[in-house]
Amino acid sequence: MARVAFLGLGVMGFPMAGYLATAGHEVVVFNRTPARADAWAAAHAGRVAATPAAAAAGAEVVFACVGADKDVEEVFAPALAVMPENAVFVDHTTASAALARRLHETATAAGRHFLDAPVSGGQAGAQNGRLTVMAGGDAEPFARTAPVMGAYAANITHIGPAGAGQLAKMVNQICIAGVVQGLAEGLHFAAQAGLDPEKVIAAISKGAAQSWQMENRWRTMTEGKFDFGFAVDWMRKDLGLVLDEARANGADLPVAALVDRFYADVQVMGGARWDTSSLIARLGRGDLTGS
């Protein structure tokens, strides 16, 4: 078992850190809102630290799952200063590939290691311990930390050098954006055509149109229920990273750019904290339930 620190106890980090404790690791947590850390400590065997440095001191692995690039930088610097030699900083935040490369260089120069390891699977995946991890960085620290990540992840893949994990997560978000928009349009079309959406989904979900989004979101989309884990604000942050990277590498992403604008419409509608499946809300207001 390892001594680990976990920095950031949001909807993802809270259960992830919990699985580490359940697996028997010695866990110290930090969260910017102390009440959240106290709630975690009340639910799990672990210790709360008042600062990132206090959490990271002596840790073999320091995990972070925060909001964006600036948040990663805020916890990385104080943690790195106290981490033991050869310790590993694992960043589960969806952030820029440029930041990952820079922090990898900084950690290497200090005799430590950095892995960019964003996750997919959403709040449900975190709560069920079934996340997918896509990691960038050096092979040796990845091999050491992958068994620890196995406490909350069902699929852990070393993609390549520093930044590769973040680039893979961008691919993930590109794919999701197109699938959710396609599902929203399909359900809208079914409603306009007077079809029973349940019968339609029962038929097409067994064929080539099947997707995780279809299986898990079609009903809540037709009912206008968008109170899930991954908010539109966060998806727009991620798509911003995608489009910035595409401008740099020359990738042509017309669908991702269009869906990003559609999410901006949802924000204007008051849906900044709605789940990403809320793309359907910007389409016509016909009866989507078929009743």
Q: CA separation (Å) from 206 to 209, 210, 213, 215, 220?
A: 8, 6, 13, 10, 19
**Distances from the Cα of 60 to the Cα of 2, 15, 31, 160, 240, angstroms:** 7, 20, 19, 22, 33
**Which uninterrupted H or E stretch holds 220?**
helix 212-222
Residue tagged 């909807």 (tokens): 11
CA pair distance 291, 282, nearest whole angstrom: 21
Catalytic-residue membership of 169? yes
CB-CB neighbours of 279 under 10 Å: 27
Q: Of all residues in the chain, what percent are helix, strand and coil, respectively (each to 5)?
A: 55, 15, 30
Is 83 buried (19+), middle (13-18) or exposed (0-12) by CB count in 10 A? buried
Contact 116, 96 (CB under 8 A): no
Question: CB neighbours (10 Å) of residue 43?
Answer: 12
Which of 70, 169, 199, 237 is catalytic? The answer is 169
Query: How many CB atoms are located within 10 Å of the residue 138 CB?
Result: 18
Active site residue ranges: 169
